[in-house]
Amino acid sequence: MRGLFITGTDTDVGKTYVTAAITRQLISEGTSVGVYKPACSGAEIDEHGVPYWRDVETHFDSLNAQFDRERICPQCFKVPAAPTVAARLEQREVDESLLKSGHDWWKDRVDLLLVEGVGGWLCPVTETSLIADFAQDCGWPVIIVAPRGLGVLNQTLLTIESIRSRHLTVAGIILNQHLPPSGTIAEQTNPAELSRLTDVPILSLMDFDASKMLRRLGSQDTIDWCGIASS
């Protein structure tokens, strides 16, 4: 099994929607793919008063309901906070062993596993570890999702530096228009500035429309995710 780890420069930058877009493309190409999110916080309540987690539902739908929600994300918390904080407030604990066993369940079941991180790269995921530690254990190449806006240069460069400090491969950056475009100077100049400041390739600029497939920057070609996972 090959894998890709999708992280973000922060929370709410579009990791889930980017992951879902990659999933849909891989399925359309005939690739056997799974999605794993080790923990998820922040429930919403449906019309029947039942909690649900939008990230999990997004992945469940992108996988065409092939896998149970509990396999996609085995640990969900209602409070919108880091898993450690959410678990503490709910008088629970994050099960560290389940983080790993939930990941390993996918072996021999899919050809490529997309692992979506929790929050930003250094978000706490247990009382003693960060999501970056979990990514390091996985060992997969890392895709960084970054928002197009003010501050993203600093955030992205710091994330790249931290990933490389753990001897992981930074496979590429996806600049995501996670909010409606406002035409700011930052939005307009981010791609060129990041290309100048780092050797990590910008794989795609994602429009404010998660239904579209990601296209390689400067081209109408789709991205070879299997090839990136093998690099």
pLDDT in tens, 213-228: 676 766 667 899 999 9
Dist CA 96 CA 176 (whole Å): 31
| Active-site residue, 37 included | yes
The pLDDT assigned to 187 comes to: 85
pLDDT value at residue 220: 64
pLDDT at 76 over 60: yes
pLDDT of residue 120: 97
DSSP assigned state of 13: S
Return the biggest CA–CA distance within the chain. 51
Mean pLDDT of the chain: 93
Instruction: Please give the full DSSP string across 64-96, using - where no structure is assigned.
Output: TT-S-HHHH-S-EESSSS-HHHHHHHTT----H
Q: Residue type for 213, please?
A: M
**pLDDT tens by residue, 8-48:** 999 999 999 999 999 999 999 999 999 999 999 999 999 99
pLDDT at 195 over 90: yes
The pTM (predicted TM-score) of the whole model is 0.94
- The active-site residue out of 15, 37, 78, 107 is 37
Q: At what angle do helices 131-138 and 152-165 cross, to 10 degrees?
A: 50
Do the strands 170-176 and 142-147 form a parallel or antiparallel pair, or are they unpaired? parallel
Closest CA to 122 of 5, 10, 1: 10
User: What dotted CATH number matches 2-230?
Assistant: 3.40.50.300
pLDDT of residue 190: 92
Kindly report the backbone phi and psi dihedral angles of residue 156, in degrees, each rounded to the nearest multiple of 5, phi listed first. -70, -45
What is the per-residue pLDDT for 91? 96
Q: What is the pLDDT averaged over residues 96-120?
A: 97
DSSP letter at 62? Answer: H
Residue 95: CA count within 13 A, CB half-sphere:
12
Banded model confidence at residue 108, pLDDT cuts 50, 70, 90: very high
β-strand 76-77 against 40-41: which pairing, if any? Answer: parallel
| Domain ranges within the chain, ordered by starting residue | 2-230
Number of residues in the chain: 231
β pairing state of 33-36 and 170-176: unpaired
Provide the 10 A C-beta neighbour count for residue 46.
9
